[in-house]
A and B are shown apart, each in its own frame.
Chain A
C-alpha cells in the first residue's frame, strides 16, 4: 500500500530523503554565504584547508557585495599588530558604532532650539539605556577623532603614504576633515551652554574672512546667531550629509587598501635583505576567510567590551550643562579637547610677534591693522596646514620607507606632535586669558557649569550664616553642629561641617593671598549661606575691594542654588 503510494506520487525511498534535504539546505547555505557550502563552513570553523577547488573562500569576495570591499588576503607581515596597531580598523569600528547608536538617538532627538535640550533630558531620564546610548555615541565620537589622528601618525611614521598610496593618503586627509566636521556639528545638538558657545566661538572664525567671510558665517549659522535655522543645518549635516560623505570616502579609502595596494608591508620586510625563507614566511598569504575575519570579530568583541567597561565604571560620562543661553557668555568657553590646538593657535597674534621681531632689530612698525590675527590664525593657517598635509606624499620624495633612512621626516613628524600638543595646551580655557582675581577665585570654587568644591558640599552641611573672610577662619565654622550622612548610621557621625569649612578656608586663603599680592586691596569678603526652601539653599560668595588703579570700590558676587537631590558626580 505505502509502496504503491510512494510510486504513485514519486516519493523517493527513505535513504534518499536525507541526502535530498541536505542538498536543499546546502544550496540555501551557499546562497546566503555567497558560495560556501556547509562542509566548507565546518572546515573554516575547524581551521581546516579549503574543501573545494578553486578555493571557495575567495569566491565569496567576488560574489558578495559586502565582501567585495574586502581583500582576499594580506601578506603575513602586513598583518603584524605592531605595523598597523589596528588604528584604521578601529576608526572604522567607531564609525559603525556611531552610525548604529546615532540612528537610535535620532528616534528621540528633536532638532529645534526650544525642544532639543528637553529631548536630551528625556533620553537620559526616560529612555531605557538612554544614558548608555548617549555615552556610547559621545565616547565613540571622541575615540573616532583620536584614532583617526593616531592612524594618520602611524601611516606617516611607517611611510605608508609613499608611491602608489599617495591617493589613499589624500582620501585619508579628507576623512580627517569629515570626522572633524562630524564631531563639531554633533557638538551643537544637545543645545546646552557648552554646545552653544563652543560652536558659536568656533563658527565665528569664518566671520573674520574677507568679502565672503560674513556670508559663509551666515550660511553656516542660518542667521547672524545660531538659532532654529542654524541648529537644523547642523543637524542635517550631522545625520545625513556628512555620514554619507564619510561612507563614500571610507569606501574609496578602504577600497584602495583592500583591492588595489593592500596594506603596505613593513619597511623592514620590503626593503631589507633577509633570508629567503624568512621573507617567504613574511609574505605568506593570510586569507580573509577565516583568519582576518576571525581577528576582526575578535577586535569587535574587544572594542565593544572596552567601551562598555569604560562607561560602566564611569570613566567617561557625556556632559550636559544648562540650557543654551545666547544672552549669557560663559566665563570659560570650552572647545572639545580635539580642537584645543585650533583654539590655542587662535591665541597667537602674528602681528605682535613680527612687531617684536622687527622691534628687536630696531624697526618700529604697526602691523596689527594689516594682520588680523583671527583671520590669519583661523582662516589662513589651518587651510594651509591641511594643504601641506595633503601634499606630504609629493613633498617627501625620499623613496625609502625605512625609519633610519628618513631621519628628517621622522624628526619632522615628532616635532609636529609636540607643536600640536603645545597648541592644545595653549588652547585650554585657562591659558593666556586674564580673569580678574575675584572672578577667578569664585569660578574655581564653583565653575558656572559643572561641579567644583562648592557644589560638592554635602547638603546636610549647609548651615545658614554669613561667613566673613578674615574673621571666621576657625577650625570649624559650625562647632555645635553634627549630622549623620545619608545612608549611614551613628558611626558615620560627622562633627561640624568639614566640607563647608574647607571650601570657606580655600576661598579665604586665596582671597587673602590676592590681598597680600596687592590685587585686592581693602578686601572685604564673605560667603552667605541661606535657606530658600526646605530642600534648597542659596550660596553667595561676595567680594569687595578697591580697584588698585582707581581706588573705587568694586564688588563681585555669584549666586548658586543647591538642592538636596542634586546630582552628585
Chain B
C-alpha cells in the first residue's frame, strides 16, 4: 500500500502547488485586468485609426484637423470642450461621436462653415442603416478621435520631433527635410509630418495648386506662394505667412522644397 500513500502525498503537494499558482494569479488579477483594459483600448485606437484613414479623411482631413468649407476639425479644443453644450448633448463626448457617426448628419448644423457633402452633410456610417461600418468599427473610430483629447487640450506637445532622413540624390527628400526645419511645420499640416494649423493643410496641394491662379502651373503657383505669399491669399486665411521665409534659401534648396510640395498628391 506504499504506492497509495505516495500518491496521496504527491497529490497533496500538487494540490498545494496549484493553490499557490492560483493565489499568485489571483493577487495579480486586478492589475492584469486593468492592464488588459489599457491594452484593449490601445488596440481599439489602432484599429479605429485604420477606419478613420479609410473613410473620413476626404472630409475631416488626413489628421482630423478639419477641412475648411467641408467638415469640422475633430481634434480642436473647441470640439473637446464646447461642442457638446453647443448641440445640447447630455451624454459623453464619445457617445456623441458614436451617435453622430452611426446615423450620419442629414443636414449640417453649420451649413455655411461645414456643408460637407450637401445632403446628407455626412452619410450614415452604420451597417444598420445601410452604411459600410460595423458597430465595433464605429466604436473604434470614436476611440481614435477621443485619443486626440490630450493634444486638443494642449496637454501633449504639438510639434513632433522629427529627424529627417535625407536622400541627397532625391530633391523631394531634401525638400522634405527643409520643410521640417524651415519653420513651415508651425503653420502647416502634412499628414505624418506636421500638425500646424494657422495655414492651410498642404495634403493634396499638388493636385489643387494648378487650379489656384489662372495661368500659373502647379509649380509656378507654389513658387509664388513661397516667395510672395501675399500675392494670392487662400480663402479663409489671413496673409500671415512670412514674406521672407524662403529668402535665405539657395535656388537649389527652393527647388527641392517645391519638388517636395509637388509630391503632396
Contacts and interface: CB of A to CB of B under 8 A. Distances in A.
A301 B11 contact: yes
A532 B63 contact: yes
Interface in A84-129: 114, 117-118, 121, 124-126, 128-129
Given A128-B33, A297-B11, A47 B1 contact: yes
A305 B17 contact: yes
B39 A566 contact: yes
A303 B17 CA distance: 12
Interface stretch (B77-85, B102-110, B115-123, B143-151): B143-151
Interface in B1-40: 1, 3-5, 7-8, 10-12, 14-15, 17-18, 21-22, 24-26, 29, 32-33, 36-40
B165 A131 contact: no
A131 B14 contact: no
Most central of A117, A121, A291, A563 by chain B CB within 10 Å: A563
A477 B47 contact: no
A559 B11 CA distance: 52
Nearest to B46: A561
B192 A538 contact: yes
A223 interface: no
B225 interface: no
Contact of B160 (A464, A480, A528, A563): A464
A298 B7 CA distance: 6
Nearest to A563: B42
Nearest to B38: A565
Contact of B14 (A114, A302, A463): A302
B45 A471 contact: no
A47 B5 contact: yes
Contact of B165 (A117, A301, A472, A535): A472
B13 to A, nearest CB: 8
B195 to A, nearest CB: 8
Contact of A298 (B8, B43, B134, B161): B8
Given A128-B33, A531-B160, A534-B150, A567 B173 contact: no
B21 A309 contact: yes
A308 B165 contact: no
A309 B18 CA distance: 8
Interface string B120-154: 00000000000000111100000010011011000
B187 interface: no
Chain A interface bracket (under 10, 10 to 19, 20 to 34, 35 or more): 35 or more
A406 B208 CA distance: 83
A563 B46 contact: yes
A180 interface: no
B223 interface: no
A530 interface: yes
Nearest to A307: B18
A323 interface: yes
Contacts of A481: 163
A536 interface: yes
B40 A125 contact: yes
B63 A565 contact: no
A121 B165 contact: no
A535 B147 contact: yes
Contacts of A464: 160-163, 192-193
A528 B192 contact: yes
A566 B46 contact: yes
A322 interface: yes
A294 interface: yes
Nearest to A126: B33
Contacts of B169: 471
A290 interface: yes
A465 B22 contact: no
B157 interface: yes
Q: Name the 8 nearest CB pairs between A and B, nearest first.
A: A530-B192, A47-B1, A534-B156, A563-B42, A565-B42, A561-B46, A567-B39, A298-B7
26 contacts: A114-B134, A114-B135, A124-B36, A125-B40, A126-B37, A128-B26, A128-B33, A291-B3, A297-B11, A298-B7, A304-B15, A322-B43, A464-B160, A466-B164, A466-B165, A468-B167, A531-B192, A533-B45, A533-B147, A534-B157, A536-B46, A561-B46, A562-B46, A563-B43, A565-B38, A566-B39
Interface of A: 47, 114, 117-118, 121, 124-126, 128-132, 290-291, 294-295, 297-298, 301-302, 304-305, 308-309, 312, 322-323, 325, 463-468, 471-472, 477-478, 480-481, 528, 530-536, 538, 559, 561-567
